[in-house]
């Protein structure tokens, strides 16, 4: 029998038969998640399908994160609709302020290695960091999964990204993934699974692995997997490895030993340049947040740069921790104090700033440096703003200096 | 199906441009229709008429998983989307809500052309230019869902997914 990629293995285990790339399979799912951006439509579709009971309430989670706290009565009523639905069906429910959906799914072990998970959000591939096969779907697909516990999938081809070498000090997983996206472009992995492997991955924390898996969405991929070698999780688990003779659609090999900080310039996440090319550009708003980079190690990185210093005049440095739990850890270890003293301010754990629903909308002509994953025109709520994407370290260094700055220059 | 083409020969039209995140938090589809494609072409919602066809370049619908994107197009009156290629979530979502999407890698459709679509055979005829183009075939699961009018209609009728 021909060898299998991780995606082929996990899908086979859920299809009840051995499948390979390009085959179509009906599979059972282990979990389903939707947010306030997608759940109201999903609930409506679920009811239209005649749904009364969830296929398994313990395997469904609803999260309020995209527009939280509610900016107006319309959204507040959608939140109410979700609260009522959660109460009625008994599914898991995360209310305003609990955190960003993807962080919560991993943090609270709703998704585990080997699982097949559907999320009604495009950054659901993030759980490839824990060896799960997780795909983003729309509301109607999610409604169907909530009803039947199943979905249909086309088994993806796999792009393998081999990361060799050792990351230089101060260079992060975000720089790696931006470099990879520069290579693949925004459509280079459309419909594909992306496997990250190689010696540079082994020492990476779970948080860093989540950064890699998160941004496969910016290559058009369906799902991700980060090689489990070196991964530790707070529960018993079995890693899923690809077979040595698995078939790959494409292999990209990069040595990260000389990697420099990378920045995606407006208006696409694949417009990636090394920091030298954008150094010195004036910034007005700096943001550390999102499901890409708002975990404890990201806040620590920012604190390392800003400790005992002050954010430049004319720059607003906003931070939205990935979850309430992350925020609490940062409160306890003094990171919140360090950053607040430096002039940063904290907003609700959630998506608002990243997706531009409310909070921190930039003005016309504003330049934003952000640790998020998308800089499409209008992404943060204003099509006349310029959004640059980078690591939290570059965001912090740029906030400190008021211009896009290489962290190395201020440490 | 027959209709007039609104051609935007641009690649990577993302879901933020199809319907901006700030407008998506609603179940009122007329609101979605009113702001559809606003950042790409502010006049689109006035120009488009029921039954018109949208034509775009590569990787149409990339970006977020918001189902409001195909819903907005459908609510605005778009009867089908033709693109050289699609982003995968948009593609699934469109079929799930019953908006036909046709992947046509090779065509010379211009804005204003009158098109006729034969879904059974995946052929698009350009009545203005007397040409025809081939669309990529859908997997049979997708075709069944689309023929039912979308996944909701399919599941309401059959109670479960089609067998493969
Ligand atoms: S933080 Fe941003 S990218 Fe992540 S789920 Fe929220 S809106 Fe989407």
The reply to whether B126 touches chain A by the CB within 8 Å rule is no
> In the CATH hierarchy, which top-level class contains the domain A265-409?
alpha beta
Determine the Cα–Cα distance for residues A81 and A47; give it in Å rounded to an integer. Answer: 13
- Choose between A97 and B89: higher pLDDT: A97
Nearest to A302 by CA among A284, A287, A291, A290: A287
- Whether residue A113 is predicted with pLDDT greater than 70 in this model: the reply is yes
Given this model, what pLDDT does residue A378 score? Answer: 87
Q: What is the ipTM of this complex?
A: 0.87
Superfamily classification of domain A26-153? Aconitase, domain 3 (3.30.499.10)
In angstroms, rounded to a whole number, what is the distance separating the alpha carbons of residues B160 and A216? 31
Top-tier CATH class for A157-255: alpha beta
pLDDT one-digit tens code per residue, B14-67: 998 999 888 888 888 999 999 999 989 999 999 999 999 999 999 999 987 788
Assign domain B2-158 to its CATH architecture.
Alpha-Beta Barrel (3.20)
State whether the beta carbon of A167 lies less than 6 angstroms from ligand 1. no
Greater pLDDT, A378 or A386? A386
Instruction: Point out the ligand 1 atom lying closest to the alpha carbon of residue A65.
Output: 6
Cα–Cα distance measured from residue A316 to residue A359, given in angstroms and rounded to the nearest whole number? 12
**Cβ B12–A222 below 8 Å, yes or no?**
no
Same fold for the domain at A26-153 and the one at A157-255?
A: yes
Q: What is the rounded distance in angstroms from the CA atom of residue A406 to the CA atom of residue B2? A: 56
Q: How far is the CA of A144 from the centre of ligand 1 (A)?
A: 23
Instruction: Tell me, yes or no, if A104 comes closer than 8 A to chain B by beta carbon.
Output: no
- Residue spans per domain, chain A: 26-153, 157-255, 265-409
What residue ranges do the domains of chain B occupy? 2-158
**A63, A105, A137, A355: which to mutate for ligand 1, most atoms within 8 A of CB?**
A355
Q: Is the CB of A291 under 6 A from ligand 1?
A: yes
Which of A24, A151, A379 lies at the smallest CB-CB distance from B16?
A: A379
A41 interface with B at CB cutoff 8 Å:
yes
Distance A343 CA to ligand 1 centre (A): 25
User: Do B152 and A140 make contact, defined as CB atoms within 8 angstroms?
Assistant: yes
**Nearest chain A alpha carbon to B160:** A148
The mean per-residue pLDDT over the stretch A324-331 comes to 98
Would you say residue B164 has pLDDT above 70?
A: no
pLDDT single digits (tens) A44-95 = 999 999 999 999 999 999 999 999 999 999 999 999 999 999 999 999 999 9
- Whether A40 sits inside 8 A of B64 (CB atoms) is no
**Chain B neighbors of A74, CB-CB under 8 A:** 25-26
Question: What b/e readout covers B106-122, taking b as 16+ CB neighbours within 10 angstroms?
Answer: ebebeeebebebebeeb
């Amino acid at each position: 029998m021909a060898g299998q990629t991780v995606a082929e293995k996990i899908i086979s285990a859920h299809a009840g038969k051995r499948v390979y790339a390009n085959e179509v399979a009906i599979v059972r799912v282990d979990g389903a998640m939707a947010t306030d951006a997608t759940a109201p439509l999903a609930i409506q579709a679920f009811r239209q399908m005649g749904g009364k009971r969830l296929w398994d309430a313990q395997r469904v989670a609803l999260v309020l994160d995209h527009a939280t706290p509610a900016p107006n009565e319309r959204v507040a009523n959608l939140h109410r609709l979700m609260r009522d639905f959660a109460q009625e069906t008994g599914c898991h429910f995360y209310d305003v302020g609990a955190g960003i959906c993807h962080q919560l799914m991993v943090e609270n072990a709703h998704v585990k290695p080997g699982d097949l998970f559907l999320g009604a959000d495009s950054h659901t591939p993030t759980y490839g960091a824990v060896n799960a096969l997780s795909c983003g779907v729309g509301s109607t697909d999610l409604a169907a999964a909530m009803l039947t516990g199943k979905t249909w999938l086309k088994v993806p081809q796999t792009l393998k990204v081999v990361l060799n070498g050792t990351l230089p000090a101060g260079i992060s997983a975000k720089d790696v993934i931006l470099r990879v996206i520069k290579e693949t472009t925004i459509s280079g992995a459309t419909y594909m699974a992306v496997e990250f492997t190689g010696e540079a991955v082994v020492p990476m924390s779970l948080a860093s692995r989540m950064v890699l898996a998160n941004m496969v969405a910016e290559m058009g991929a369906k799902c991700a997997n980060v090689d489990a070698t070196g991964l530790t999780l707070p529960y018993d688990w079995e890693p899923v490895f690809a077979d040595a003779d698995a078939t790959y659609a494409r292999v990209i090999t990069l040595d990260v030993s000389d990697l420099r900080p990378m920045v995606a310039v407006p208006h696409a996440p694949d417009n990636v340049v090394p920091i030298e090319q954008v150094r010195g550009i004036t910034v007005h708003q700096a943001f550390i947040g999102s499901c890409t980079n708002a975990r404890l190690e990201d806040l620590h990185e920012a604190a390392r740069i800003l400790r005992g210093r002050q954010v430049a005049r004319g720059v607003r440095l906003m931070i939205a921790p990935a979850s309430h739990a992350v925020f609490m850890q940062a409160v306890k270890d003094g990171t919140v104090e360090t950053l607040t003293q430096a002039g940063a301010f904290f907003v609700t754990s959630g998506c608002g700033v990243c997706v531009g629903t409310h909070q921190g909308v930039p003005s016309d002509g504003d330049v934003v440096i952000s640790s998020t994953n998308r800089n499409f025109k209008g992404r943060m709520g204003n099509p006349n703003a310029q959004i640059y994407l980078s690591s939290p370290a570059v965001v912090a260094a740029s906030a400190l200096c008021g211009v896009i700055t290489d962290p190395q220059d201020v440490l | 199906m027959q209709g007039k083409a609104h051609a935007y020969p641009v690649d990577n039209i993302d879901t933020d441009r199809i319907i901006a995140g700030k407008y998506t938090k609603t179940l009122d589809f007329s609101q979605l229709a009113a702001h559809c494609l606003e950042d790409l072409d502010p006049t689109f919602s006035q120009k488009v008429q029921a039954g018109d066809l949208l034509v775009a370049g590569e990787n149409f619908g990339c970006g977020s998983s918001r189902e409001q994107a195909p819903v907005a197009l459908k609510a605005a009156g778009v009867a089908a989307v033709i693109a050289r290629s699609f982003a995968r979530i948009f593609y699934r979502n469109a079929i799930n809500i019953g908006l036909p999407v046709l992947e046509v890698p090779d065509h010379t459709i211009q804005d204003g052309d009158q098109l006729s679509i034969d879904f059974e055979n995946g052929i698009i005829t350009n009545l203005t230019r007397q040409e025809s183009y081939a669309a990529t075939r859908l997997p049979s699961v997708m075709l069944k869902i689309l023929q039912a009018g979308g996944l909701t209609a399919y599941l309401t009728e059959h109670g479960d997914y089609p067998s493969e």
